[in-house]
Amino acid sequence: MTPNLCIAISAPTLRALFDFQSEHDQEADPADLADRAIRDWLHYQRELAKPAGQRGYFWKKLFLPDGTRLRVSNHMTTRYAAVVGDDLVYESMTISPNRFAQMTLGSARNAWEVVYVQMPGQREWKLALRLRYALEADERRAANRPATPPSAVAPPPAAPRALPIATLHAPQLRPDCEERRKACRRAEDLLLD
């Protein structure tokens, strides 16, 4: 049995859940209804995240389209799994990539580091970890991309004026703070001649 966790739900949402349950004469436990609602919401979000009309399997954020093959090798054998529809299938069982790695290697391993992926229509096999890093790099580039078009880029700022060297090395204080350093030092901190 899986352990249950408590999640805060707003009072209006909980009230609407109880009202719906009483209107439809359902004798289900409110916790079961909330669990089912969250699972339905997750399924809906995964369907929205998929490319339009395409089936496949989500391994965390990495989308493996229908027809993708996975491979795990050790010194004795090589095993294969495939994405069929929305499931990852190995020996007629629906499993996760982590479970696939555990079953084929016989020990607990990080699946990202041992599973190789062959996308449909491609010949080369790529390590899943490299695909994950490439996806994360694409997301970072998209997040850091400027919102304005390149033609509307502002001119570079004027060069800063030269400051005296003493000012460059002096600690900068906020105007609302006073310096808290003490002029005296401990004997252990002094260099002896």
Q: Is the full-model pTM beyond 0.75?
A: no
Q: Is the dihedral of CA 102, 106, 107, 109 positive or negative?
A: negative
- Helix (H) or strand (E) run with residue 139 in it: helix 128-144
Return per-residue pLDDT of the chain as tens, 193 residues: 567 778 788 888 888 877 877 777 767 777 777 778 888 877 777 666 666 557 788 888 888 888 889 999 888 888 899 988 888 888 888 888 999 888 888 888 888 898 999 988 888 999 999 989 988 888 888 888 776 555 555 666 665 555 555 544 545 555 555 555 555 556 565 555 4
Cβ–Cβ < 8 Å for 46, 32: no
